[in-house]
């Protein structure tokens, strides 16, 4: 697995991508670069010349945070049970700037009583932002849970970014 840590222009967060053969497996981020480096593992972090694939992800994230990209075009490897995959696939269909409740996602995947399980599956999302779990909210529109770095504050930021 290849890894790349980078910073998106004008944003105070570092991003780490993990990918194999031009397929994204994981995206993590933090306001501190050292949080993304696991001292127990000797990872080969691609700090030098990035692959075309890594550079493309960096460019798409940069364009997204500048409000110039509304839909990512990145091959993904989504792990998990069939249920988790169906939830994340449905979350991926939520349009830029819109939100759906966990209950609405559960109904879309034909599991109307599984809103809490949808929340757990969303929380297991290893590719936040690109699989836009920040677009999923509680039944009354409140912000609840976020699998990406920065917690609910960052989830709120992403929603506000998309409303501009």
Q: What residues act catalytically?
A: 133
Enter the DSSP assignment of 67. Answer: T
- Asked whether the beta carbons of 77 and 89 are under 8 A apart, the reply is no
d(CA 54, CA 5): 9
3-state SS class at 34:
helix
Residue-by-residue DSSP string for 85-141: HHHHHHHTTSPTT--EEHHHHHHHTT-TT-HHHHHHHHHT-SSBTTB-GGGEE-TTS
How buried is 21 (Cβ within 10 angstroms: 0-12 exposed, 13-18 middle, 19+ buried)? exposed
């Amino acid at each position: 697995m290849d890894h790349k840590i980078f910073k998106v222009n004008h944003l105070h967060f570092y991003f780490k991508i993990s990918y194999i053969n031009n397929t994204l497996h994981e995206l993590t981020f933090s306001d501190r670069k050292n949080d993304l480096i696991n001292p127990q593992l000797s990872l080969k972090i691609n700090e030098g010349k990035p692959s075309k694939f890594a550079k493309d992800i960096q460019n798409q994230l940069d364009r997204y945070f500048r409000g110039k990209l509304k839909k990512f075009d990145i091959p993904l490897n989504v792990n998990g049970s069939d249920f988790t995959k169906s939830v994340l696939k449905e979350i991926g269909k939520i349009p830029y700037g819109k939100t759906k409740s966990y209950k609405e996602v559960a109904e879309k995947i034909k599991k109307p009583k599984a809103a809490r399980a949808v929340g757990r599956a969303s929380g297991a999302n290893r590719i936040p932002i690109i699989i836009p779990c920040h677009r999923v909210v509680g039944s009354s529109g409140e912000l609840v849970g976020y699998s990406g770095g920065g917690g609910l504050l960052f989830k709120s930021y992403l929603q506000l970014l998309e409303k501009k």
